[in-house]
Amino acid sequence: MIVQQILKSKGGGTVITVSPETTITEVTKILAEKRIGGVIVSKPGDTADGILSERDIVRALSHRGAGILSDTAETLMTRNPVCCERADTADEVLRRMTDGRFRHMPVVEDGKLVGIVTIGDVVKARLSQLSMERDALEGMIAGH
Ligand code: AMP
């Protein structure tokens, strides 16, 4: 299973990006409205310059208080996030997410953003693949 298949199973969809100047208040509204845990920060709109997750916001709130809500996305984002490509395997992406302790990974091609995968997307795709493999094996054993 490769990243391209995961993107396809998600049914396309646009990647939510925000500009570096977006305030944290605006980012929290986007996270809540779109029911997502992170946004990609991009100046031109089609690159992954940074990633800002709910964890970054919670951590900053705990350290510095509600004043951070008027800060901009670029002040809290993680710069140059680890990215993957369409041809990368799901296992490799899962390993990189587990090693790096993050749940989001932008998908890029020639430096341009083409999608995003979350740990939930990868686990869901792997479980569905395992289920199909099990059914196929059961079919073979039963002689169908
Ligand atoms: P997450 O688990 O994705 O909510 O993110 C946990 C922490 O890792 C936050 O500080 C994020 O900014 C950071 N992060 C999320 N995704 C990535 C990534 N692909 N590469 C590097 N850091 C990331």
Per residue of the chain (144 residues), what is the pLDDT tens digit?
899 999 998 886 689 999 999 999 999 999 999 999 999 999 999 999 999 999 999 999 999 999 999 999 999 999 999 999 999 999 999 999 999 999 999 999 999 999 999 999 999 988 988 998 999 999 999 886
* Domain that residue 105 falls in: 3-142
Q: What is the tally of structural domains in the chain?
A: 1
Distance 133 CA to ligand 1 centre (A): 32
Domain with residue 81: its CATH number is 3.10.580.10
> Is the pTM higher than 0.75?
yes
Cα–chain-centroid distance for residue 12? 14
Q: Write out the two tokens for 47.
A: 């690159």
Report the candidate in 17, 10, 57, 51 with the shortest Cα–Cα distance to residue 34.
Answer: 17
Q: Which residues lie below 8 Å from residue 7, measured CB to CB, with a gap of 6+?
A: 86, 107, 114, 115, 117
Distance 130 CA to ligand 1 centre (A): 27
Ligand 1: residues with CB < 6 A are 37-38, 51, 53, 55-56, 78, 81-82, 100, 102-105
Q: How many CA atoms lie within 13 A of 129 on its CB side?
A: 14
